Amino acid sequence: MYRLLVLTRVLDRYLLRLQRMGKAALYAEAMGEEAAMVGSALALHPEDVVFPSYRELGVFLVRGVPVSEILDRQLNTVDDPLKGHEFAVFGDRRFNIVPAPTPVSTQIPMAVGYALAFKIRGERRLVVTYFGDGATSKGDFHEGINFASVFKPPIVFICMNNQYAISTHVSRQTGSATIAQKAIAYGLSGYRVDGNDVIAMYLVSRSVFEEVRDGGDPVLIEAVTYRLGAHTTSDDPKRYRSEEEVQQWMKKDPVDRMRAYLIAKNVIGEEDDRSLWSEVEAFVSAEVERALAKPGLEPEVIFEDVYAEPTPQLREQIEEFRQQLRTERVMRG
Ligand SMILES: Cc1ncc(C[n+]2csc(CCOP(=O)(O)OP(=O)(O)O)c2C)c(N)n1
């Protein structure tokens, strides 16, 4: 559990730096939310399906996605499994992870429909969908959870309440005292969990997932956490929140908390901890070197995988695009 927290933190820092170096287009940081990601995902079974938002790096690592594939995706190397499509950090059928859509909260109704298929087919699998506090103001959230409350598919809604939707504080997002209590209006159970406590997240998720796999009603889990970094690499949080507030939450850093707990319980010593961090750092840094050495995607792949067969209009566009690339290459000499 702790190793996965450390791996998420280290890789997240690299992904941020790679974007700053101009190697990636955009990145949505996970820093501060690692425990909510790792704790919940550890309670999933491989056959369960995840509909994440764009920020769930820790979930992907727990599901066994290799660091190399996440780097291929973020750097859009020739091996990018999504071929440059989408803003999603990752998505692949092999890991039962659906790529996150860019429009906020649209994954929620899709996830409900997917879960309904499991119910109809009598499969003992569940769907988990992750979304932010801001997403709960969208119709998709209410439509999805309402539909789920009637048809009761095996689904768990996990709201990562990281206190902000870009610059909008959660206090401006809803008049409800909590997000968990929104479940009550739909006749469902809602749990409010300390999302910076990885063990709490794991235990609540494990018991909820078991219940839902056994045919229990859908559940809403609110993970109370904090986005320590910027919304994405296009954001400057200094414009809307104080340094004091960030410092207060830094004291509840989920990775530090787990380290302090393990050391206090004598599960690991300071030396084990230092060697874990340097081992993970060396591993990720080697993977980054390997990914940086790979060639990038050919621009034409942008047209692939939308239609099984390109339409006549698409064929025309591809030809026009190729012509443009040729002209640009000639002009660049
Ligand atoms: C429908 C839609 N509206 C606006 C945006 C721009 N946008 C991207 S992320 C975001 C905030 C989402 O906040 P939240 O749901 O709390 O998730 P977080 O980013 O904090 O994880 C907004 C407004 C969008 N992607 N889609």
- Residue-wise pLDDT tens digits, 99-121: 999 999 999 999 999 999 999 99
Out of 166, 169, 171, 233, mutate this one to test ligand 1's pocket (max ligand atoms within 8 Å of CB): namely 166
User: Could you list the active site residues?
Assistant: 227, 231, 240
- Residue-wise pLDDT tens digits, 221-253: 999 999 999 999 999 999 999 999 999 999 999
| Statement: residue 20 has pLDDT above 90 | yes
Helix (H, G, I), strand (E, B) or coil at 174: coil
| Statement: residue 315 has pLDDT above 90 | yes
**Measured distance CA(133)–CA(164) in Å, rounded:** 7
- Residue-wise pLDDT tens digits, 147-190: 999 999 999 999 999 999 999 999 999 999 999 999 999 999 99
The conformation of residue 24, written as its DSSP 8-state character, comes to S
Query: Residue 81 carries which side chain, given as an amino acid letter?
Result: P
Confidence at residue 72, expressed as pLDDT on a 0 to 100 scale: 96
CB of 8 shorter than 6 A to ligand 1:
no
Confidence at residue 206, expressed as pLDDT on a 0 to 100 scale: 98
Separation of 113 CA from ligand 1 center, angstroms?
22
Percentage with pLDDT > 70 across the chain: 100
Confidence at residue 302, expressed as pLDDT on a 0 to 100 scale: 86
CB of 55 shorter than 6 A to ligand 1:
yes
- Residue-wise pLDDT tens digits, 196-215: 999 999 999 999 999 999 99
Name residue 157's beta-bridge partners: 129, 220
Confidence at residue 152, expressed as pLDDT on a 0 to 100 scale: 98
For CA atoms 142, 146, 147, 148, the dihedral sign is positive
Residues 6+ apart with CB under 8 A from 201: 35, 36, 38, 39, 40, 193, 194, 195, 223
- Residue-wise pLDDT tens digits, 107-159: 999 999 999 999 999 999 999 999 999 999 999 999 999 999 999 999 999 99
CB of 102 shorter than 6 A to ligand 1:
yes
How does DSSP assign 269-329, residue by residue? -HHHHHHHHHHHHHHHHHHHHHHHTS-B--GGGGGTTSSSS--HHHHHHHHHHHHHHHHHH
| Statement: residue 89 has pLDDT above 90 | no
Percentage with pLDDT > 90 across the chain: 92
| Statement: residue 88 has pLDDT above 90 | no
Separation of 124 CA from ligand 1 center, angstroms?
32
Measured from the Cα of 131, ligand 1's closest atom is 15
Question: Do residues 181 and 190 touch, judged by C-beta distance below 8 A?
Answer: yes
CB of 324 shorter than 6 A to ligand 1:
no
Could you tell me the pTM of the whole model? 0.96
Tell me the average pLDDT of the chain. 96
Confidence at residue 245, expressed as pLDDT on a 0 to 100 scale: 98
Confidence at residue 87, expressed as pLDDT on a 0 to 100 scale: 81
Confidence at residue 333, expressed as pLDDT on a 0 to 100 scale: 78
| Statement: residue 86 has pLDDT above 90 | no
CB of 164 shorter than 6 A to ligand 1:
yes
Instruction: Report H helices in the chain.
Output: 2-20, 34-41, 57-62, 67-75, 107-121, 139-151, 182-185, 198-213, 243-250, 254-264, 270-292, 312-332
Q: Which tokens sit at 289? A: 């070197």
Helix (H, G, I), strand (E, B) or coil at 9: helix
Confidence at residue 305, expressed as pLDDT on a 0 to 100 scale: 86
Measured from the Cα of 160, ligand 1's closest atom is 21
Confidence at residue 25, expressed as pLDDT on a 0 to 100 scale: 87
